[in-house]
Amino acid sequence: MKDINECRERLRGIFNITVTPFDATGAIDFAALHENIERVIGLGYDGILIGGTYGEFPVMSLAERRELFHQVMDCVQDRIPVMLCSASSDPRDARELTTLAGDLGGLPMVTAPYVSEITDAQILAYFKEMAPLSKTGILVYNAPGIGITLSPALLEQLADVAGVVGIKQGDLNPTAIDQIANRLRGRLRLFCASDLAFLGPMMAGFDGISTTNSGALPELVLATFRAVEKGDAATARDLHQLWYDYRALARQHGQPQLVKAAMALRGFNGGRVRAPLLPISADAQAQLASVMRKLASDARTGVSLAD
């Protein structure tokens, strides 16, 4: 993407949150990463998100994140839009990565600085500083998982910041979703940050979703989203229900741990997680295998398992 206008035009639909595959030595397995990117592009995903929270960016060095950005953009070659997470606890790193992401033609995804007792005014000033650094603008990630939840009122102020092209909303409280959808729809691109519960935000008028579990269930998650997109709420509901047992495991055992384990069962190379995350337990692995076999037995899911 060459500029903010093109970014706004293309920023919609279903974006795969691509896991970062680490090999046995702890290094990033770029060959596996490229395979996983090509899989979702081939299936028709609208975009990808790289190096986010479920991409394990907090345990990567700045040099690794730079290389990750370059490798991904070289692989994609502008076939689909790419969100590149430039968040950091160090604003110096966030500035560098935000600039790099825009220069490479991606859309930087920026969180509020995760420091204690930061005020709304300071958060607003931070995004005003970050937005002009990228020629494609920035995506504001409202990420309660880092300990800071941006209120609908603050998000409305951020919508007026030049260079903010969208919000990835991680606070799925129905009241917040209702306020954001009705007050910001059309002003910014609105993305639901969770595939575990995306039907409500999409029905409220959001422009798209980002999805980690599509690494393991790319066909099923895509079919569910396309049904919503077409206005077929009944089909979307029924498809979403098919993978409820999987979602329950994801909530219990965590992402990306479960996603990578499920990818392995399908013969996809999601690699390993990096410490402090640990692989799921043997008991969890057995539960997951049972759930995946059930999904594979239903032709509606599109799921197949490795031999």
What is the pLDDT tens value at each position of the chain, 307 positions in all? Answer: 999 999 999 999 999 999 999 999 999 999 999 999 999 999 999 999 999 999 999 999 999 999 999 999 999 999 999 999 999 989 999 999 999 999 999 999 999 988 888 999 999 999 999 999 999 999 999 998 877 899 999 999 999 999 999 999 999 999 999 999 999 999 999 999 999 999 999 999 999 999 999 999 999 999 999 999 999 999 999 999 999 999 999 999 999 999 999 999 999 999 999 999 999 999 999 999 999 999 999 999 999 999 8
Residue from 141, 244, 246, 260 carrying the catalytic annotation: 141
Residue 112 CA to its chain's centroid (Å): 16
Determine the pLDDT at residue 211.
97
pLDDT in tens, 48-67: 999 999 999 999 999 999 99
CATH architecture of 4-243: Alpha-Beta Barrel (3.20)
Q: Give the span between the Cα atoms of 302 and 14, in whole angstroms.
A: 17
Instruction: Examine the residue annotation and report whether 126 is marked as an active-site residue of this protein.
Output: no
How far is it, in rounded angstroms, from Cα 95 to Cα 213? 29
Residue 175 contacts by C-beta under 8 Å, 6 or more apart in sequence?
Answer: none
| Percent composition of the chain: helix, strand, coil (DSSP 3-state, to 5) | 50, 15, 35
| Residue ranges per structural domain of the chain | 4-243
* Active site (annotated) includes residue 141: yes
Catalytic residue chosen out of the listed positions 45, 54, 168, 246: 168
C-alpha R_g of the chain? 18
Give the C-alpha separation, 123 to 126, whole Å: 5
DSSP states of 200-265: HHHHHT--EEEESGGGT-HHHHHHHHHHHHTT-HHHHHHHHHHTHHHHHHHHHH-TTHHHHHHHHH
Contact between 277 and 53 (Cβ < 8 Å): no
- Give residues with Cβ within 8 angstroms of 217, minimum separation 6: 243, 246, 262, 295, 301, 303
> Which are the contacts of 279, defined by CB distance < 8 A and separation ≥ 6?
257, 260, 261, 272, 273
Count Cβ atoms within 10 A of the Cβ of residue 159 and give its class: 0-12 exposed, 13-18 middle, 19 or more buried: middle
Residues 18/55, Cβ–Cβ less than 8 Å: yes
Give CA–CA dist 161/169, Å, rounded: 17
